[in-house]
Amino acid sequence: MRAMTRTALGTTTAAAIAVGCLTTAGVTTASVAHAASAPAAKAAVTHPAAHVEAAAPRAVANLGLTAAEAKKVQRVLKARWGYTGAVDGRLGTNSWKAMQRFLKKHYSYSGPIDGIVGSGTIKGLQRYLKRYHGYKGAVDGIAGSGTRAAFKRLAHSL
């Protein structure tokens, strides 16, 4: 009896997760109903999570800054680099577009002004942090602990 309850609970949970993941990904209600009733509910649970992640890129990249620290960065970006969004402490696409404009002008960022915090954006940021905020690591495009610590120092200096 206990095994049947676990199986029923596991199947129900898997179907609910599948429905939630598929709905988040923008699948129609008919598709969700079909996926939830499909015998391969286990497959639906393991695959949609990666699909949702790919479909919804991370909108905020504070790189370890608190909201208060990020607001300081946003104020400077608003005053000098064309940031037009709210000073809300969430470094989203528009904040990073303004940062990319700054990095392009002064720190050899050569990528598009798209607000995506990729390795090129991080390399430009690392060049700046190396020069003024004590970053000692490699300019490798990876926002590791050294990059994050130097970014915090930048925020505290504003």
**62: in domain:** no
What residues make up the domain containing 16? 2-55
Residues 71 and 112 in one domain: yes
Q: Are 35 and 19 in contact, with CB atoms under 8 Å apart?
A: yes
Per-residue pLDDT tens digits for 115-128: 999 999 999 999 99
Predicted local confidence at residue 59, as pLDDT: 62
What confidence category does residue 14 fall into, taking pLDDT thresholds of 50, 70 and 90?
Answer: very low
Residues 81 and 113 in one domain: yes
Predicted local confidence at residue 80, as pLDDT: 95
Predicted local confidence at residue 117, as pLDDT: 94
Domain count, the chain: 2
Predicted local confidence at residue 130, as pLDDT: 94
**60: in domain:** no
Q: Are 126 and 106 in contact, with CB atoms under 8 Å apart?
A: no
